[in-house]
Amino acid sequence: NRELGLFVVGSTATLEEVVVHDTLARADGLGGRGIGIENDPDTGAVSDVTVRRSLVAGNRDVGLVVSGSTATLEEVVVRDTLPRDDGLWGRGIHIRSDRDTGAVSDVAVRRSLLAGNCQVGLSIVGTTATLEEVVVRDTLAQAADGLFGDGIAVVGSFPGEGTFPPTAAHMTGVLVERSARAGVFFYNAGGSFCDSVLRGGVFAVALDQGADPMVCDDNLYEGNERNDVSVGQGLEPSPTLEREDL
């Protein structure tokens, strides 16, 4: 397929044992996403989608995106997402609010694997999500410039991109390993991070711009350059405005 492998807009759907791979970009080099789950901008209808026991691999730009919708992702593998032709993006899962309508997403990700994605393994922007028993490994830096490379990024409002709804992620039993920059990065966002393991990155947990999640004492940090919770390191989040939004 080209531009988008599977698209659900303003609808209810259950996807089980689905494989979406190697979606091609459009002629202008944009797109190539695996699965898109979005609200309908014309009617305001919100999608409510469950994805189980499915593989999303080798797509471009974003493996799976949820915008202004409700989704449950269980036993899903999202791997080897490629950047666009300009070398930007290549995220595994991107969960966001809808910039135009203000609709927020409510997403649960359980017992899932994200591996070999670029820029950010799993991003949560201007919305809320719950992660349980999720593995994020081998997140690469952005191909265009060697920047970023966060396993999980939870991003609230920041300069140049407008004001987002409150942003929070609640994570339990998460394993993040071998991220190019931070295992988990909170920027102007909240939530919680407990009973999890972070290994083999530069920063284990990075908090910036007033991020205030609850970081529990039962987490294990090992083999990172900074085996602690790093506050105020001046890290910038990767841009959250996609080319289609600009």
What is the residue whose two structure tokens read 């209808």? 45
- What's residue 162's pLDDT? 63
Cα distances from 112 to residues 109, 175, 220, in angstroms, run 7, 11, 20
| pTM listed for this prediction | 0.95
Dump pLDDT digits (tens) for 200-229.
999 999 999 889 999 999 999 999 999 999
Rounded to the nearest 5°, which phi and psi values hold at 227?
-90, 60
Dump pLDDT digits (tens) for 20-51.
999 999 998 889 999 999 999 889 899 999 99
Residue 244 has pLDDT above 60, yes or no: no
Tally Cβ neighbours within 10 Å of residue 220. Answer: 12
For strand 197-199 and strand 220-222, is the pairing parallel, antiparallel, or unpaired? parallel
Distance between CA atoms of residues 214 and 189, nearest Å:
11
For strand 128-132 and strand 168-172, is the pairing parallel, antiparallel, or unpaired? parallel
Q: Is 244 helix (H, G, I), strand (E, B) or coil?
A: helix
Specify which residues 14 forms β-bridges with. 50
Q: Stretch 102-114: mean pLDDT, rounded?
A: 95
